[in-house]
Amino acid sequence: MEFTSTKIGKIHLNHCLMNASGVKCKTEIDLSNIYKTKVRTGVVVSKSCTLEFRRGNEGTTYYHSKESEMSINSSGLPNLGYEFYMEMAKKLEQNARDRKFRYLYEVKKPFIMSVSGMSQADNIHILESVFDKHKSHSIDGVELNLSCPNIIGKPQIGYDFEAFDEILRKTFELDVPKSINMGLKLPPYFDISHYSQAFDIINKYPIDTLTCINSIGNGLVIDPINECSVISPKKGLGGIGGSPIKSVALANVFQFSKNTHCDVIGCGGIVSAMDVFEHILCGAKAVQLGTIVMLEGLDVFKKIERELLSIMRNKGYKKISDFCGKLKYVEPEFNKY
């Protein structure tokens, strides 16, 4: 639908909605389902991958509430290893060109690999391989995840500004192809000094896109009936997603769209078309859905796109750029007396 088409960095999207890495994008079946034409996503984002297969944290790692439209998770990056996701990108592109799959895949969707190595060396190894083979494997972009809050004993790189700068410096010392979209997935920032440090680092490098935000780390949800946490790892601490984090996400989208040279992808607290509208109004060029996909399944993309089109028509907007980043501010009212 041309009304919701958009462009993020170097990638054109037929639809402004995307899946958030981590939600229904781990296996071959998951990724094939997102790639289907009937699922109104503009791009396919893989599960954040590590160097090797990773089982993730043990026990109950995910909980959501339909009533409050919130979630908490501490999955610990379970994934099938980066080589699997590289091969999946290639396979999906081949399927899109195969006539026998034409009824499922009418158009090629761009493929973004989310990368979250367990060490800086792992990240560089994965990125180097992706950069070297991106054309042969039909990989259109990378989302370097600097913000996973659920690895036991591992801090988020996005909060360690020295490590943040170093991983970007080493990344761009590689031969980064001009055709590939280089993106980052950031943690939520709260203090103006942290925003400022992040802006300074990001603006030093030719980064194309920023995904704002990952879940808010180390939250706690309690089952008061049984008097215990609802998830197992880290004594019940995990990343909070869904409706409760929307205001934080909007603030980050607004700040990074205004203060960096990058296109921003909004993520966090999006459970309705109006949430999508607000993210775009704050400066997001596209948005990612996470918790709501777990709650309602992949059909939610079509539903939200349809409702977004209705909002746009009612407001007289014909395309995303008509209102992207056009947030107005309330003027202060001075006491006349």
pLDDT at 103: 65
The predicted pLDDT at position 56 comes to: 95
Instruction: Check whether 154 has a pLDDT greater than 80.
Output: no
The residues annotated with a catalytic role in the active site are: 148
CB 217: neighbour CB atoms within 10 A? 20
Is pLDDT of 129 > 90? Answer: yes
- Express each pLDDT in 289-313 by its tens digit: 999 999 999 999 999 999 999 999 9
| Residue percentage of the chain with pLDDT more than 90 | 89
- Residue pLDDT, tens place only, 186-204: 999 999 999 999 999 999 9
pLDDT of 174: 96
- Specify the CATH number of the domain 2-56+76-216+243-322: 3.20.20.70
Name, in order, each residue with C-beta under 8 angstroms of 213's C-beta and a sequence gap of 6 or more: 147, 186, 187, 188, 245, 248, 249, 252, 267, 268
Contact between 149 and 217 under an 8 Å Cβ cutoff? The reply is: yes
Across the range 205-226, mean pLDDT stands at 97
Is the pTM higher than 0.85? The answer reads: yes
Helix axes 82-97, 28-35, angle to 10 degrees: 40
Long-range Cβ pairs for the range 89-96 (8 Å, 24+) = 89/46, 89/113, 89/137, 89/138, 89/139, 90/136, 90/137, 90/138, 91/28, 92/31, 92/32, 92/35, 92/44, 92/138, 93/138, 95/32, 95/35, 96/35
Beta strands in the chain (DSSP E): 6-8, 11-13, 17-19, 44-45, 62-65, 70-73, 111-115, 141-145, 181-186, 209-212, 216-220, 222-223, 228-229, 237-242, 263-267, 284-289
Q: What is the pLDDT of residue 213?
A: 97
* β-bridge pairing 237-242 and 216-220: antiparallel
Determine the length of the chain: 337
What single-letter DSSP state applies at residue 144? E
Residue 96: the pLDDT is 83
The predicted structure's pLDDT at residue 3 = 87
How many angstroms separate the CA atoms of 304 and 288, rounded?
A: 12
pLDDT digits (tens, 9 = 90+) for 221-235: 999 999 999 999 999
- pLDDT of 336 above 70: no
Q: Which of 23-32, 103-112, 130-139 has the lowest mean pLDDT?
A: 103-112
Q: For 112-127, what is the mean pLDDT?
A: 97
Residue position matching structure tokens 């997102």: 34
pLDDT band with cut points at 50, 70 and 90 for residue 268: very high
Residue 159, SS3 per DSSP: helix
Task: Pick the closest to residue 281 from 312, 240, 306, 236 (CA basis).
Answer: 312
Region 247-267: what's the mean pLDDT?
A: 98
Which residues are CB-neighbours of 41 under 8 A, at least 6 positions away? 15, 17, 18, 19, 34, 109, 301
pLDDT for the residue numbered 98: 78
Distance in angstroms (rounded) separating the CA atoms of residues 291 and 240: 10
